[in-house]
Amino acid sequence: MPRAGHIQPEITAIHALAQPKQVNLTFTGEQSLEAWAPAAGKKVRLKIIILELSADVSLGYRWTSTGTIYYIRISKGPFGLNLVGANDEGAADQKLYLYASGACTVKGTLYGQEL
């Protein structure tokens, strides 16, 4: 039972907040590959990242093919990242790219909103 004056957080299913975008990318070396292109005039806001990395390489995401890299993983295996409430987003018409520092396969799902 919550204490007096305490606000109970509301738990919401992620599918009510965001749409899934399947990822199945093969990197042949260090490179950035497009993971999500929003509809014209829209931007992508990331909510959750659930991916599996096939090799021990650095993996990150960026909002342009050459922009700042936000590193999310450095070893192979499955992982998840909760960005709900962080409002990490690109600009209108800006694509989301995944970056890998070497050859690997990345599979999984990105959850986000197109706003």
DSSP labels, 44-77: EEEEEEEEEESSSS-EEEESSTTS--EEEESSSE
Q: Say whether pLDDT at 8 is over 80.
A: no
Query: For the whole model, what pTM was predicted?
Result: 0.86
CB atoms within 10 A of CB 24: 9
Q: Say whether pLDDT at 13 is over 90.
A: no
| For residues 44-63, average pLDDT | 96
Q: Say whether pLDDT at 6 is over 90.
A: no
Residue for token pair 């018409």: 93
Asked if 89 and 96 count as a contact pair (C-beta separation under 8 A), the reply is no
Q: How far apart are CA 32 and CA 52, in angstroms?
A: 16
Beta bridge partners of 77: 53
Q: How far apart are CA 28 and CA 83, in angstroms?
A: 28
Helices (H), the chain: 14-17
Map out the domains of the chain as residue ranges.
17-114
Query: Domain 17-114 carries which CATH code?
Result: 2.60.120.20
The per-residue pLDDT for range 68-108, each reduced to its tens digit, is 999 999 899 999 999 988 989 999 999 999 999 999 999 99
